[in-house]
Amino acid sequence: MESSKPGNTKLWLLAFFFVSSMVVNVYFYYNNSFSLASPFLRLSWTTKAATEAEIVAAIDCSEHGRAYLDGVPVNGVPMCECHNCYSGPSCSVLASNCTADATTGDAMFLEKYWLHHRINTAVLESGWHRMSYFIGHNFMSDELDKHIRLLHKAVGNAKVDDKFLVFGNGVTQLLNGVIISLSPNVTATPAAPIKKVVAYVPYYPVFKSQTKFFNFRGYEWKGNASDYVNAPNPKDYIELVTSPNNPEGLLRKSIIKGSLAVYDHATYWPHYTPIKYTSDEDIMLFALSKYSGHSGSRFGWAFVRDKAVYDKLTTYMATNSEGVSRETQLRTLKIIKEIVLQINQHKGTVGDFNEYGYTTLRNRWIKLTNLVAQSNRFSLQKLSPEYCNYFKRVRDPSPTYGWLKCEWKQDTDCSAVLQNGNILTQSGVRFEASSRYARLSLIKTQDDFNQLMERLSILVKAKQTSASEEYNYEMDRERSIERPFIYGGDQGSYGSF
C-alpha cells in the first residue's frame, strides 16, 4: 500500500498541520466577534475606543488609586489619581501619619464590585449617540423609567406602581425642585401663604444651606421640625424627612402630622439598613450616588403621587437644566440592569450587589464599634440587629455614618478633637446638633477606612489627663452656637453629602 511510503507520511503530517492551522484561523475569526448576536460581525469602528479603555484600565496604580480616560496625561498616558495619603506615579508611596478624611459620603466602597462586573456594565457610545434634546417622555428614557421600577420591585423598598417618576441631576437638584413644586408662586394674586421648610434635628445640612441659597419667594427656611409639631396649619409646612436619617441611620417618619412630607430615601437600601417596609409616601427621593456608588454621575429620581406636583417638577427640571444628560441615563440603565440581573440570579448571596454592600459595611461597623468600646472616650449611636424583608433574615447594623460622641468633659468640640488627632469629620453643629457629636463617613475606600481606624485607635487608647473628668451629661442639652455654613471655593464647602 502507498501509505507505507515515507513521502505519504510527510503528506499526512502536512495535511494535519494545515487542518490544525485552519482550525486556529476559524477560532481567531469567531473569537473576534460576539457569538450571541451574529457570528460574522467583526469589530470595526469601536476597536479604537475599546482599546483605549483597556489600556487605561491596565495602568498600575497599586490598588491605591486609579487612572481614567480623561485623567491629566503625563507622557501621553493618564496619570494615576491616588487615594488620600498615597502618592507617586503608581500611588505606591504612603505618607506617614497623614490625616484621615471621613467627611464625605462618597460611596467608593462599592467600586470593587463594579470592577468585577466590568464586562456587563461597559458601554460604548460615539459622537452621533442621542444628540437630540428629545428622548422618551419629558427628557426621560422610557427604558430607564421601566428598569428603575423593576429595581424597586426586586428590592421591595418602595411602592412605585401608582406614582410618577422624575429624573434629576442627583437628589440635590430634585430636592429644591420638590420644595418649589410644593410652594406657591407668590407673584400670583391673591398670594397663598408661603411654605415653611423644616426638618427634625439632627438633619442633613444641605436642607438648610440649599433652601437658604435658592431663596425662592414662595418658601422660607424655619429650622427644627420639632418646634412646630402642634402647628395649627400643618399644610403650611414642608417637612424634609431623611430615612434612614443622615447622620445616625435610624428610620424616620414625619413628625408634623398633616404636613407636606418629602422623604429622602437616599440610603433606604439593603446595604445600609434593614428593609422593614415598602415605603409608600407621597414624595420619595432616591439617588444613584448612595445606592450604586456613582456619585459622579449625578443621577437621582423622585417618585411622586400627585399629578399636579409631578407636572410642576418636570417643568422645574426643564427650566433648570432641560433634564438629565442622556449619556448619564444610558450608563445608569446599564448599572441598574446589571444589579437587577444579579439579584435575580444570586439574591442574598455572593454576586448580589446588595449582599456585597451590606457585608462590606457590616464588617466595618463591627470593627469600629469594637474599637470605640475599648475606652470611655467616645460612644456611637445604638443600632440593633433587625429583620430585613429583602434578605429574609435578621441582619446586623451597617450604617452609612458613625455618629460619634465625645464623652470626656473637656472634649466639647468633638470634630476639633478628632482633627487634632488627624481625622477630618463633619461637626454635629452642621446638623443643628451638639458640637459633642461628629459624623464619620464609613462608606469611602478601604484605604480611607483603614486610615480612620488607625488614627482613631490612637485617640481611643489615649489616657485622660488629671484635669479632665467624665463627661457631664447635663452639658449635652446646651446647644453650641452654630457655626455658619460658608460657601466658597474650597472642597470643604461641598462636603455635606
| Residue list 188-247, contact with its own copies (CB under 8 A) | 206, 209-210, 212-218
Which residue type occupies 27? Answer: Y
Least distance from C-beta 458 to its own copies, angstroms? Answer: 27
Report angle CA 273, 398, 159 to the nearest 5 degrees: 15
Q: In a 3-state reduction of DSSP, which class is residue 8? A: helix
d(C-alpha 40, C-alpha 25), whole Å: 14
Which residue type occupies 300? Answer: G
329 or 426, CB closer to its own copies?
329
Task: Using the Cα atoms of residue 456, residue 462, residue 467 and residue 473 in order, give the sign of their dihedral.
Answer: positive
55 or 373, CB closer to its own copies?
55
143-149: long-range contacts at Cβ-Cβ below 8 A with a sequence spacing of 24 or more?
A: 143/333, 144/329, 144/332, 144/333, 144/336, 147/333, 147/336, 147/337, 147/340, 148/301, 148/336
Contact with its own copies (CB under 8 A): which of 3, 4, 44, 96? 44
Contact with its own copies (CB under 8 A): which of 82, 100, 108, 418? 108
Tell whether residue 346 is a contact of its own copies (CB under 8 A): no
**Size of residue set near its own copies by CB under 8 A:** 137
R_g of the chain, CA atoms, integer Å: 27
| Residue list 428-457, contact with its own copies (CB under 8 A) | none
User: Contact at 8 Å (CB) between 109 and 446?
Assistant: yes
User: Contact at 8 Å (CB) between 493 and 430?
Assistant: no
- Grid cell locating 403: 455618629
446 or 464, CB closer to its own copies?
446
Contact with its own copies (CB under 8 A): which of 245, 295, 422, 434? 295
Contact with its own copies (CB under 8 A): which of 122, 229, 366, 462? 122
| Residue list 80-99, contact with its own copies (CB under 8 A) | none
81 or 407, CB closer to its own copies?
81
Least distance from C-beta 240 to its own copies, angstroms? Answer: 15
Element (H, E) at 164: strand 164-168
Element (H, E) at 22: helix 6-31
| Residue list 139-198, contact with its own copies (CB under 8 A) | 139, 141-144, 168-170, 172-173, 176, 180, 185-187
Least distance from C-beta 145 to its own copies, angstroms? Answer: 10
Instruction: Give the chain's largest Cα–Cα span.
Output: 112
Least distance from C-beta 195 to its own copies, angstroms? Answer: 13
Tell whether residue 285 is a contact of its own copies (CB under 8 A): no
Q: In a 3-state reduction of DSSP, which class is residue 75? A: coil
Least distance from C-beta 249 to its own copies, angstroms? Answer: 20
- Grid cell locating 343: 439579584
Contact with its own copies (CB under 8 A): which of 1, 131, 350, 467? 131
Tell whether residue 72 is a contact of its own copies (CB under 8 A): yes
Choose the binding region for its own copies from 28-36, 258-266, 268-276, 389-397 (rule: CB under 8 A): 28-36
Which of 333, 324, 314, 319 has its CA nearest to residue 165?
Answer: 314
Choose the binding region for its own copies from 132-140, 233-241, 340-348, 375-383 (rule: CB under 8 A): 132-140
Choose the binding region for its own copies from 244-252, 276-284, 333-341, 450-458 (rule: CB under 8 A): 333-341
User: Contact at 8 Å (CB) between 337 and 331?
Assistant: no
Least distance from C-beta 58 to its own copies, angstroms? Answer: 8
- Grid cell locating 154: 426586586
Choose the binding region for its own copies from 89-97, 293-301, 365-373, 450-458 (rule: CB under 8 A): 293-301
| Residue list 380-419, contact with its own copies (CB under 8 A) | none
